[in-house]
Amino acid sequence: MFHRDDPRIPVADFVEWINEAVNSGKIKRWGVSNWNFDRFQAAHEYAKSKGLVPPSANSPQFSLAVPDGEVWPSTYSISAPDNSAEIDWYQDRGVELLCWEVLAKGFMAKSDLWPEHEVDPETFDAPVERGTNEWRLQRMQKAYCHPENYRRRNLAVELADSSGCNLAQIAMLYPLTRGQHISVIFGSSKATHLEDMMVVQHLNIDEEAMMLLGGVEPKSKDTQKRRYPFMPQLVSKGVKALATGRAFGRQKSPAPAFATKLNMKSDS
């Protein structure tokens, strides 16, 4: 995979160079990391028009926590709701998305990390030395510590508590449920973290809860099925009353958001 893009170089050059490696038999497929959608689309279309092997993977940031701007310099995120059409474009063309920072540097793994009342937005643009730990913390908090992400985390915690999952599992399921062309990259410091993630492969989030977590009022079933291909496996019938009340300010229902028993999803 090509890593960071260099926009000074035409995409045609990258495509031609990597296809030399394909023609040599050294590789069969290729992809890129952190290329924005316009550049990736241009590379894909150029390759197809020339009968060359197009890129079959991109590696963007994608998490339940939507970053406010670039997390790191020259990176690309598809977490915002307005990236939905891009995600569909990748799926329609069989392009795999290998998504990084799915747990938002721990923001979507630990419910008590960076409490909203302790984070001061006025520090987000304070001058600090680039590359230091202070600079890294500043960028992470500026990207992830904003009201919408705290709303998303609070709802995810509630859904996790009522399902027998943990916050990290719900956060991992969010991009995975979005499409079968999506994979996730995560780091772990304990063996139990790996065990938690192994369970995730058998689960998905109800399509209605996906919209609520993303801050979108659920619409018709036809729209939900088009955007979220997996059938509901995790969320019970009580999800709308509870989750809608939490996300959109209406009265909360005592019905559980998630079934207490986690159901296996089919391989179909």
pLDDT score recorded for residue 255? 32
Say how far apart CA 45 and CA 38 lie, in whole Å.
11
Structural contact between residues 167 and 80, judged by C-beta atoms closer than 8 angstroms: no
Q: What is the mean pLDDT of the chain?
A: 83
pLDDT score recorded for residue 20? 97
Say how far apart CA 83 and CA 26 lie, in whole Å.
34
pLDDT score recorded for residue 194? 84
At 127-186, the pLDDT tens digits run 999 999 999 999 999 999 999 999 999 999 999 988 889 999 999 999 999 999 999 988
Between 28 and 253, the more confident residue is 28
pLDDT score recorded for residue 249? 35
Residue carrying structure tokens 């192994």: 198
* 3-state DSSP of the chain: CECCCCCCCCHHHHHHHHHHHHHCCCCCCCCEECCCHHHHHHHHHHHHHCCCCCCCEEECECCCCCCCCCCCCCCCECCCHHHHHHHHHHHHCCCEEEEECCCHHHCCCCCCCCCHHHCCHHHCCCCCCCCCHHHHHHHHHHHHCCHHHHHHHHHHHHHHHHHCCCHHHHHHHHHHHHCCCEEECCCCCCHHHHHHHHHHCCCCCCHHHHHHHCCCCCCCHHHHHHHCCCCCCCECCCHHHHHHHHHHCCCCCCCCCECCCCCCCCCC
CA distances from 76 to 3, 9, 33, 54, 81 (A): 11, 18, 8, 19, 14
At 135-150, the pLDDT tens digits run 999 999 999 999 999 9
Percentage of the residues of the chain whose pLDDT score is greater than 70: 81
pLDDT score recorded for residue 22? 97
pLDDT score recorded for residue 219? 61
At 83-100, the pLDDT tens digits run 999 999 999 999 999 999
pLDDT of 48 higher than 90: yes
Structural contact between residues 250 and 244, judged by C-beta atoms closer than 8 angstroms: yes
At 12-38, the pLDDT tens digits run 999 999 999 999 999 999 999 999 999
Which positions ≥6 away from 117 have C-beta within 8 Å?
Answer: none
At 197-249, the pLDDT tens digits run 888 888 888 877 888 898 876 665 554 444 444 333 444 333 443 333 333 33
Rg (alpha carbons) of the chain, rounded to whole number: 20
